[in-house]
Amino acid sequence: MSKSSTVTVREKPVQDVASATAGGLIIHGETFVVQTDQRVEVIDLTNRVMEFARRFNIREGLISLWSMHTTCALFINEFQSALIDDLKGLIERLVPERGGYRHDDPRFSDCERGNAHAHLRAALLGRNIAVGLVNGELSLGRFQSVIFAELDGPRKREITVQILGA
Amino acid sequence: MSKSSTVTVREKPVQDVASATAGGLIIHGETFVVQTDQRVEVIDLTNRVMEFARRFNIREGLISLWSMHTTCALFINEFQSALIDDLKGLIERLVPERGGYRHDDPRFSDCERGNAHAHLRAALLGRNIAVGLVNGELSLGRFQSVIFAELDGPRKREITVQILGA
Amino acid sequence: MSKSSTVTVREKPVQDVASATAGGLIIHGETFVVQTDQRVEVIDLTNRVMEFARRFNIREGLISLWSMHTTCALFINEFQSALIDDLKGLIERLVPERGGYRHDDPRFSDCERGNAHAHLRAALLGRNIAVGLVNGELSLGRFQSVIFAELDGPRKREITVQILGA
């Protein structure tokens, strides 16, 4: 392998919104844009996902969210200030910002951001979540929030969101 | 952010069972209840998922399971006593029960359970799994089991399970 | 629990290819075989997933990949040589190959491969990914690749891949 990354190239430009129907089933995708202000920032997307779901008259189905980036994460947990601090502390302890990473070393990598820690933290936290729609409600418990974590900001980030159901 | 959690509120009460069909596609959701007896407890749900799948005449599709809680986990791995002990050892080493967490400190948090470690362990292990149905069989290898991990028990836990297919 | 694993038994033999349609919706599953050559090996599956997707005239939908094994992983990240080295370094640091695991000890386990570390690393990295199809394109950002990690090779590995959409 070279110093460079393999790049995934789309054949067509991304469209903002795309839908299909099949025998009463609706599949609809679009992009959430998130502008982050901090280097590490944790954002609650639950209301945005709920509003998205309500626009469709879907009772049973699936909502998927995919981060389009390799240095941020999507996951479900409790959104509480102190717990978010603990989560930041955990990932800093497991994956320190300066860890002598080869991805941050110009001898081995053409990446100039010094963000190996952000890639590795994203690998532990995950970049994709799915939430069910059951009887018209999201499969989220009372203390569950849909959480986006910026790990190498500030940046403009894109999340693909898709609803599939009937 | 305050000391309190953001709470996700359903508009409608949860129903036990909900189904839709669309052009031959079936989407059906319901709740698995799991009563745990231990503080940390690992339970094999494979047979229960298989029995659930067999009730529908679905050959191709998707089964999703979502934990409705933030202090337990769902994942796929080998269900063997010694390996489960190793997994408990790993999460205790990576995320100690007493780690000076702010979520456990009344100055920063209104949570009285002292369960920050359980939230953080759940974040590493995951709370959602999907299993495919291909030719009427679950996409599980010979040594793969569907595993539920209680991380802050004993408690009564709910898992939303959904089958989608034709 | 005994020293042995619980084994998940299929009722029917696996078929190579299986499809269903429902009101214009297509659900199609098959198996990717990956032959690994190294003990730990990281392979970019992005082109293979893209070629699979192009065989179907599906604009909106979902592609799922499931590892059928408990000692390898599937995830999305940047595929760059130096970063892959950093990822190998991270999992070796968090889950050392020799960690005094009970799964590797004949007093507690009938497993003769000494591969507890590979199971535990797979639990942290994940064994299932989903990629969206939106307007005929995979929901992958420019630096995102679909990555398979062999953690206990060399072996012949199977990945179940399913496309669902219209």
Model ipTM? 0.90
Residue C72 pLDDT greater than 70, yes or no: yes
Set of chain A residues whose Cβ sits within 8 Å of the Cβ of C60: 18-20, 27-29, 162
Q: How far apart are CA B47 and CA B19, in angstroms?
A: 22
CA angle (A139 as vertex; A48, A30 as ends), nearest 5: 40
Percentage of chain B lying above the pLDDT 90 cut: 84
Q: How far apart are CA B146 and CA B41, in angstroms?
A: 14
Q: Which of A76, A136, A143 sits opposite B5 (nearest CB)?
A: A143
Interface check for A80 against chain B (CB to CB < 8 A): the answer is: yes
Average pLDDT of the segment spanning C51-70: 96
In C, residues 84-103, which contact B (CB 8 Å cutoff)?
94-95, 99, 101-103
Average pLDDT of the segment spanning A118-123: 97
Cβ within 8 Å, pair C142-A21? no
Cβ within 8 Å, pair C103-B90? no
pLDDT value of position B146? 97
Token pair 């849909």: residue: A146
Residue C15 pLDDT greater than 60, yes or no: no
DSSP string, A7-42: ----SSPPPSEEEEEETTEEEEEEEEEEE--SSSEE
Mean pLDDT of chain C, nearest integer: 93
Average pLDDT of the segment spanning A64-92: 97
Interface check for C68 against chain B (CB to CB < 8 A): the answer is: yes
Average pLDDT of the segment spanning A128-142: 95
Q: Which of B75, B83, B135 sits opposite C116 (nearest CB)?
A: B83
- For the stretch B46-60, pLDDT in tens is 999 999 999 998 999
DSSP string, A115-159: -HHHHHHHHHH-SEEEEEEETTEES--TT-EEEEEESS-S-EEEE
pLDDT value of position B22? 83
Set of chain B residues whose Cβ sits within 8 Å of the Cβ of A129: 128
Q: Which of A103, A136, C85, C148 is nearest to B14 (CA)?
A: A136
Q: How far apart are CA A73 and CA C144, in angstroms?
A: 13
Q: How far apart are CA A133 and CA A166, in angstroms?
A: 10
CB contacts < 8 A (A, B): 165
What are the tokens at B80?
């063997």
Query: Are residues B78 and C113 in contact, defined by beta-carbon separation less than 8 angstroms?
Result: no
pLDDT value of position B158? 97
Q: Which of B108, B109, B160 sits opposite A134 (nearest CB)?
A: B160
pLDDT value of position B18? 84
pLDDT value of position A32? 96
What is the distance in angstroms between the Cα of C162 and the nearest Cα belonging to chain A? Answer: 16
**What are all long-range contacts of B105-111, with beta carbons under 8 Å and residues at least 24 apart?**
B105/A82, B108/A81, B108/A82, B108/A85, B108/B3, B109/A80, B109/A81, B109/A82, B109/A83, B109/B3, B110/B3, B110/B4, B111/A80, B111/A82, B111/A83, B111/B5
pLDDT value of position B126? 93
In C, residues 17-46, which contact B (CB 8 Å cutoff)?
18-25, 27-30
What are the tokens at C79?
């595929």
Mean pLDDT of chain B, nearest integer: 93
Chain A nearest-CA residue for C42: A1
Interface check for B129 against chain A (CB to CB < 8 A): the answer is: no
φ, ψ of residue C163 to 5 degrees: the values are: -115, 140
Average pLDDT of the segment spanning B76-89: 96
pLDDT value of position C147? 97
For residue C14, name the pLDDT band (cuts at 50, 70, 90).
Answer: low
Q: How far apart are CA B110 and CA B67, in angstroms?
A: 23
Average pLDDT of the segment spanning A108-137: 95
Cβ within 8 Å, pair B111-A80? yes
Mean pLDDT of chain A, nearest integer: 93
**Structure-model confidence comparison of residues A42 and B23, the more confident one:** A42
pLDDT value of position A166? 94
Residue A13 pLDDT greater than 60, yes or no: no
Which of the residues A70, A91, A93 would you substitute to probe the C interface, choosing the one with the greatest number of C C-beta atoms within 10 Å? A70
Average pLDDT of the segment spanning A36-63: 96
| Sign of the CA dihedral running A112, C151, A127, C136 | positive
Average pLDDT of the segment spanning A36-60: 96
Average pLDDT of the segment spanning B28-40: 96
Helix or strand holding residue C16 (H, E): none
Q: Which of C79, C87, C138 sits opposite A120 (nearest CB)?
A: C87
Cβ within 8 Å, pair C166-A127? no
C-alpha gyration radius of chain A: 18
Q: What is the edge-to-edge ordering of all strands in the sheet holding B145-150?
A: B41-44, B145-150, B72-77
- For the stretch B104-141, pLDDT in tens is 999 999 998 999 999 999 999 999 999 999 999 999 99
Q: Which of A126, A129, A106, A117 is nearest to A39 (CA)?
A: A117
Set of chain B residues whose Cβ sits within 8 Å of the Cβ of A59: 18, 20
Set of chain A residues whose Cβ sits within 8 Å of the Cβ of B25: 22-25, 166
Which of the residues A75, A76, A80, A147 would you substitute to probe the B interface, choosing the one with the greatest number of B C-beta atoms within 10 Å? A80
Q: How far apart are CA A114 and CA B98, in angstroms?
A: 32
Q: How far apart are CA A19 and CA B137, in angstroms?
A: 30
pLDDT value of position A64? 98
